[in-house]
Structure 1
Amino acid sequence: MKHFRVSIFFTFVCLVVAAYWGYSHGPNAGIEAMLNAVMITAVLAVMEVSLSFDNAVVNASILRTWNHFWKMLFLTVGMIVAVFGMRLVFPIVIVAVTADMSMYDVTQLALNNPTEYSARLMAHHPEISAFGGAFLLLVFLNFFFDEGKETHWFQWLEQKLTHLAGVPAMSVFITLISLLIMSHYVADDIRLAVVMSGIWGIVVYVGVQLLGHLLGGEPEIDASEATESKAGSGLVKAGIGGFLYLEVLDASFSFDGVIGAFAITTDVVIIMLGLAIGAMFVRALTIYFVDKGTLESYIYLEHGAHYAIGALAVIMFMTGAGMHVPEVATGLIGIAFIIWSVIASRRYSRQHSK
């Protein structure tokens, strides 16, 4: 439990704050509103963990090669960015830019008229989905488009993807095709904005990789934990570039969680508290996986996480194009891939131990 003590304490504090907020704010403030606020906060926390469990696995696959300094930076500064930056500030920035309003006016709108704030944010769901979907699809594709990848879960599929790794910019090509298909189903007046958002997702992914290459130097690897990924994926170097990569990856995951949260409640304070609890547990899970060597014990777990990421990218493109996919289904698909990969890994370990 030592990995989750801080997360449990943080959860208790957030639930207390949610109870106070429900009891003292809003037109229906009181005991009933307090209990409702606590319940919704807990539901949002569980939803965030279920949607981001695969994010913890991918983070662990990167962090296990980093030294103590960069791990702690990810847990401290990265946590502040994840909770306040992506769960609170970023949605406000989107509304401020698109509605030509000041940050202060949007903040007042979010606190005093959350219904209108939610409507303005949801109006830009296609652009948000295009950006996040493009970035996550590149994460998924570049894991499998790796000529040095030797461990395959689904042999018939992954071997073919490995062969395609020799085609220059194949992952970018597929992402652009997916983006063009999505843009065909959105309204004419926002099509250009959607395409540009998706292109920015590609630019940010490639740009972070470039920054990591230029600034990372030699990988700063913790010798006690540095084992080459059995899945064959390359190392993401510890440093500014690697740190930014993890933060953008977390941001892409948080898009879906933030949008899904507004389907449950429009109270931005409750949303931030619930998603913050989930983000805290995801980081605790990441460190737990690193310390326990989970990825070494479960050889296909990283594969399952990347399949879940690919599924989430497809779902983001679908919802951005106007199709309705229940948030529950989004979370269950990710969990299903993780559980399936754990079962397959245990079966593999039993066969090879014999």
Structure 2
Amino acid sequence: MILRTFGWSFGVTAAGLVAAFLYDGPAAFALVAILAVLEISLSFDNAVVNAKVLERMSPFWQKIFLTIGIAIAVFGMRLVFPLAIVAITAGMSPYQAFDLALNDEKAYAHALESAYPMIAAFGGMFLLMLFLDFVFQEHDHQWLAWLERPLARIGKLDQLAVVIAGTALALAGGYFADNPGEVMIAGVLGMITYILVNGLGELFEGAGDLDEDDENVKKGPNGLAVATGKAAFFLFLYLEVLDASFSFDGVIGAFAISTNLIIIALGLGIGAMYIRSLTVFLVRKGTLHEYVYLEHGAMWAIGALAACMLISIGHHVPEWITGGLGAGLIIAAFVSSLIRNRNGDAGDEAAPDKQLHSTGV
């Protein structure tokens, strides 16, 4: 099970570390290893959330997530996306941005950091919308019942998530941003992206939940209705945008460790591969069904990350804070799940065919 799920990750790790050593010796080897650990620690909550969506996809689309998806995650978000951001914000061609990254690492890092407020606004608003959609809906289990129950009650007010997210964006842009207009536009685009991708996912999968004979829905090994066809495609698209939002802080934070584009791509690529494999492992082991509060912990970690990203528009938030908050909340949720299971409090198990309200899809 471990080798089957993490085999590609082990292989990519070995190849990446060897490539780093051949590229620039032991120093590059060490930096790539550190960056891989950084990416895993910052994105562990991403794996938990992804697993909740991935379990509703057919084995074929799970393989797509591990193949095409990892190519998009590694080459798209960790290599091409930063180059595109630098090219757009600096008014240069992609080739010039690539040449800058290879020959003037400090200038490239500075250009990317200058664009960070817009990146943080986009990613922060996408994640904030995801978090708010979760806490404003009823769930079969409550981890922080004293907080989650009243939030679910007030969440019955239509479009409350949009109102709160818009208010947070206005405050962040007004108080933290040097260029409020650019930040506001990026944040609104983040909200639009979430609403669009989430809405398309609900459109196709919602029909499948009601009609198990639909051509886009089949029964999976865990008893859940799994999406195929268009439904699975939009779930896949949702996962890629979600991964992109999580990767922003890791890409920017990596420059605190190294400004070399090749080393950053190798290190973050290895970490992204482990996040993919961990996501599949959680699905195949049924971990989210056994430890029912893990998803709640991951969602609260997403809320904390969204807040950190919005604050970082004007103030640097150390990576150990964002990573520590996420890991701490997930560990707390895991421990709470263990206590619940030991107490035999399993009478409120969630019905397997509930909608994907917990992920917003």
Return the alpha-carbon distance in structure 2 between the equivalents of residues 59 and 331 of structure 1.
Answer: 17
Q: CA deviation at 1:221?
A: 4.5
Does the Cα contact within 8 Å between 1:65 and 1:225 map onto a contact in 2?
no
Does the Cα contact within 8 Å between 1:87 and 1:276 map onto a contact in 2?
yes
Residue 206 of structure 1 pairs with residue 206 of structure 2: no
- RMSD of equivalent CA atoms: 1.6
CA separation of 1:212 and 1:351: change in aligned 2, threshold 3 A: same
Q: TM-score, normalised by structure 2?
A: 0.89
Match of 1:71 in 2: 62
- Secondary structure of the structure 2 residue equivalent to 1:207: helix
Residue 96 of structure 2 aligns with an amino acid whose one-letter code is: D
Residue 14 of structure 1 aligns with an amino acid whose one-letter code is: G
- Secondary structure of the structure 1 residue equivalent to 2:312: helix
Does the Cα contact within 8 Å between 1:64 and 1:226 map onto a contact in 2?
no
Return the alpha-carbon distance in structure 2 between the equivalents of residues 226 and 310 of structure 1.
Answer: 30
Return the alpha-carbon distance in structure 1 between the equivalents of residues 93 and 223 of structure 2.
Answer: 47
Q: CA deviation at 1:353?
A: 5.9
Question: Identity rate of aligned residues, in percent?
Answer: 47
Q: CA deviation at 1:211?
A: 2.5
Residue 184 of structure 1 aligns with an amino acid whose one-letter code is: G
Map 1:127-166; keep pairs closer than 5 Å.
127-147=118-138, 149-166=139-156
Return the alpha-carbon distance in structure 1 between the equivalents of residues 286 and 204 of structure 2.
Answer: 28
Return the alpha-carbon distance in structure 2 between the equivalents of residues 18 and 164 of structure 1.
Answer: 52
Match of 2:22 in 1: 20
Does the Cα contact within 8 Å between 2:117 and 2:177 map onto a contact in 1?
no
Does the Cα contact within 8 Å between 1:65 and 1:222 map onto a contact in 2?
no
- Secondary structure of the structure 1 residue equivalent to 2:316: coil
Return the alpha-carbon distance in structure 1 between the equivalents of residues 194 and 311 of structure 2.
Answer: 21
Q: CA deviation at 1:150?
A: 2.6
Map 1:44-59; keep pairs closer than 5 Å.
44-59=35-50
Match of 2:93 in 1: 102
Match of 2:245 in 1: 252
Does the Cα contact within 8 Å between 1:66 and 1:222 map onto a contact in 2?
no
Q: Which runs of 5+ in 2 are unaligned?
A: 210-216, 347-361
Match of 1:302 in 2: 295
Map 1:1-354; keep pairs closer than 5 Å.
1-2=2-3, 3-22=5-24, 34-147=25-138, 149-188=139-178, 190-216=179-205, 218=208, 220-227=217-224, 238-320=231-313, 322-352=314-344
Q: CA deviation at 1:218?
A: 2.2
Return the alpha-carbon distance in structure 2 between the equivalents of residues 225 and 176 of structure 1.
Answer: 38
- Secondary structure of the structure 2 residue equivalent to 1:152: coil
Return the alpha-carbon distance in structure 1 between the equivalents of residues 208 and 28 of structure 2.
Answer: 48
Return the alpha-carbon distance in structure 2 between the equivalents of residues 187 and 56 of structure 1.
Answer: 31
Q: CA deviation at 1:146?
A: 1.3
Return the alpha-carbon distance in structure 2 between the equivalents of residues 117 and 184 of structure 1.
Answer: 27
Does the Cα contact within 8 Å between 1:68 and 1:222 map onto a contact in 2?
no
Q: Deviations over 1:295-330 (max 9, x none)?
A: 01101000001011110000001111x222211121
Does the Cα contact within 8 Å between 2:308 and 2:317 map onto a contact in 1?
yes
CA separation of 1:222 and 1:70: change in aligned 2, threshold 3 A: farther
Does the Cα contact within 8 Å between 1:133 and 1:316 map onto a contact in 2?
yes
Residue 192 of structure 1 aligns with an amino acid whose one-letter code is: G
Does the Cα contact within 8 Å between 1:138 and 1:172 map onto a contact in 2?
yes
Q: Which runs of 5+ in 1 are unaligned?
A: 23-33, 229-236
Residue 319 of structure 2 aligns with an amino acid whose one-letter code is: E
Q: CA deviation at 1:169?
A: 0.9
Return the alpha-carbon distance in structure 2 between the equivalents of residues 133 and 49 of structure 1.
Answer: 19
Residue 194 of structure 2 aligns with an amino acid whose one-letter code is: Y
Residue 321 of structure 2 aligns with an amino acid whose one-letter code is: A
Q: TM-score, normalised by structure 1?
A: 0.90
- Secondary structure of the structure 2 residue equivalent to 1:239: helix
Return the alpha-carbon distance in structure 1 between the equivalents of residues 328 and 11 of structure 2.
Answer: 29
Return the alpha-carbon distance in structure 1 between the equivalents of residues 41 and 15 of structure 2.
Answer: 21
